[in-house]
Amino acid sequence: MADKHVRLEREGDVGVVVLSSPPLNLWTPELQADLESALDQAESDGVRALVLRAEGRAFTGGVDVHHFQGKTPDEADEIFQGLVRVAHKLEDMPLPTLASVHSLCLTWGLEAALGCDLIFAAESAKFGLVEKVVGLTPAGGGPQRIAERAGPARARELVMSGELFDAATLERWNVVNRVFPDDQLAEETMKFATELAAGPTKAHAATKRLVRVAVEEGTHGADARIREIASALFDTEDLQAAVESFLRDGPGNASFKGS
């Protein structure tokens, strides 16, 4: 897939969704449509891990504010529901998703990254939910997902301050998973994504579901879903083959097909 705003690449079993709308990858309705299409296409193509990255000097500079001018609450809500839909698509994919942030990452781009299972960042990357400059609170899912990762006090600080935060700070807050030197980010991202894609995809999907249930329903809620989510893995070819491999050849020698 190739278009003006977003493109989908594939490296083996890893799908790579690339924001490619220079110079700042600003949100527009056209980029929104292209991004949703790319995510849908990646899942339908059967990739086993997904990377979200961007080209240019910014991961994204945020929203093209012209699209806020003169909007009614109902019209604004259509924009926000689209942004939340992107986060949901990433969260609900039955495979690992990884955002790779190389530089400035503001507003909707950070909210999209927060929909991914993991965020890797370059040392020089900066992050911010800066909607207060136009009298808005982030409405694409950012505050609640920062609260999920870092706690409510940090979520209020990040949003209410409107400040830019470096990758090391957000790693300390558990918003970013790993930070790399700028020239190593791309290589480390793809190395990790390739390892994920080579693993037991259905088990990774089960992990995502258990964590999501724990966040939404608490530890006991997740415990109550073990039969449905984890025990069901005994019907997968990957588990059965991996158990046989373990008993025959020892740990770490199994190969997985994602089935």
Domain presence at residue 41? yes
One domain for residues 50 and 144: yes
Domain presence at residue 257? no
One domain for residues 159 and 226: no
**CATH code where residue 111 lies:** 3.90.226.10
One domain for residues 135 and 205: no
Distance CA 137, CA 51 (A): 27
Per-residue confidence at 134, pLDDT binned at 50, 70, 90? very high
Domain presence at residue 117? yes
One domain for residues 239 and 137: no
Per-residue confidence at 1, pLDDT binned at 50, 70, 90? very low
Contact 51, 12 (CB under 8 A): no
238-251: per-residue pLDDT in tens? 999 999 999 999 99
Domain presence at residue 255? no
Distance CA 142, CA 159 (A): 9
One domain for residues 206 and 190: no
One domain for residues 157 and 232: no
Q: Which of 99, 94, 246 is nearest to 175 (CA)?
A: 99
Domain presence at residue 189? yes
One domain for residues 211 and 140: no
Domain presence at residue 254? no
190-237: per-residue pLDDT in tens? 999 999 999 999 999 999 999 999 999 999 999 999 999 999 999 999
Tell me the residue range of the domain where 72 lies. Answer: 6-197
pLDDT value for 143: 98
93-119: per-residue pLDDT in tens? 999 999 999 999 999 999 999 999 999
**Which residues pair with residue 63 across a beta bridge?**
27
Contact 18, 55 (CB under 8 A): yes
Helix axes 142-150, 152-161, angle to 10 degrees: 140
Distance CA 40, CA 27 (A): 18
The pTM of the full predicted model, rounded to 2 decimals, is 0.95
Domain presence at residue 165? yes
Encoded amino acid at 259, one letter: S
One domain for residues 60 and 35: yes
One domain for residues 165 and 215: no
CA torsion, ordered 257, 6, 176, 115, to nearest 10 deg: -70
Exposed/middle/buried for residue 259 (C-beta within 10 Å: 0-12, 13-18, 19+): exposed
Contact 122, 101 (CB under 8 A): yes
One domain for residues 141 and 33: yes
Name the helix (H) or strand (E) containing 202.
Answer: helix 201-223
Which of 197, 216, 231 is the last residue before a domain boundary? 197
Average pLDDT over every residue of 167-183 = 98
One domain for residues 188 and 236: no
Encoded amino acid at 238, one letter: D
One domain for residues 49 and 94: yes
Domain presence at residue 75? yes
Domain tally, the chain = 2
Tokens of 190: 């793809």
